[in-house]
């Protein structure tokens, strides 16, 4: 992210606490994938903090590929799948299925990049820049945004709709104001937004009817 290692580490620590609290609020196994998101973002931010510290000493190949694994494989697959699992309305579940398929395709594409080319990370103009050698495929970016955001809007849960709106707003802001490092900036914003998942589970506990709908 375009700040510093301390920001990444402090965000990681905060999300780790929120992630543990979120998992403690889950009551059913089907809620665990969604509840894991803040904790996984904490790990990703910790990795980025290490990159901030170690990249000045040289390339950090495996650490960068691990970060790319989270960004390009975990999020586009896990996010729509987690929302699909807890969605109680059948027609909405069917609408989320194409989003999951899109996420799997993005994940396969990212895996081929990691295996065959590799992703590089550099510090430039006080920003962390992630790149790989290859054609600039804008449709991959579109597919990625669909995979990581669309299911939030399809969900029947209004609090998830709100999280999705914040997430897509973060992408738009990052893409237009931090073009050089929008991937890192958006991931940071999405990590912060993921903390709201705790509020989603807490509100469900306070509202037994909403809980019953999610777990039907």
Mean pLDDT check: name the lowest of 120-124, 145-149, 171-175, 204-208: 204-208
Taking residues 2-18, what's their average pLDDT? 83
- Give the count of domains, the chain: 1
Partners of 130 in beta bridges: 121
| DSSP letter string, 129-147 | EEE-SS---HHHHHHHHHH
3-class DSSP assignment, residue 126: coil
Which range marks the domain in which residue 136 is found?
A: 5-214
Q: What is the pLDDT of residues 55-80, one digit of tens each?
A: 888 888 899 999 999 999 999 999 99
At 124-168, the pLDDT tens digits run 766 788 887 765 678 888 999 999 999 999 999 989 999 999 888
């Amino acid at each position: 992210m375009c700040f510093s290692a301390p920001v990444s580490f402090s965000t990681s620590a905060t999300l780790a606490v929120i992630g543990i609290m979120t998992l403690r609020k889950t009551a059913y196994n089907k809620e665990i994938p969604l509840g894991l998101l803040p904790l996984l973002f904490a790990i990703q931010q910790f990795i980025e903090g290490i990159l901030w510290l170690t990249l000045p000493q040289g390339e950090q190949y495996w650490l960068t590929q691990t970060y790319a694994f989270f960004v390009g494989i975990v999020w586009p697959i896990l996010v729509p799948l987690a929302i699909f699992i807890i969605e109680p309305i059948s027609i909405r579940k069917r609408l989320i299925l194409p989003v999951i398929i899109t996420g799997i395709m993005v994940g396969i594409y990212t895996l081929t990049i990691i295996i065959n080319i590799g992703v590089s990370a550099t510090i430039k103009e006080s920003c962390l820049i992630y790149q790989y050698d290859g054609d600039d495929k804008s449709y991959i970016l579109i597919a990625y945004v669909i995979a990581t955001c669309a299911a939030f809007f399809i969900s029947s849960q209004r609090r998830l709709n709100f999280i999705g709106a914040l997430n897509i707003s973060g992408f738009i802001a990052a893409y237009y104001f931090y073009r050089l490092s929008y991937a890192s900036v958006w991931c940071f914003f999405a990590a912060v937004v993921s903390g709201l998942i705790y509020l989603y589970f807490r509100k469900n506990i306070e509202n037994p009817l909403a809980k019953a709908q999610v777990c039907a």
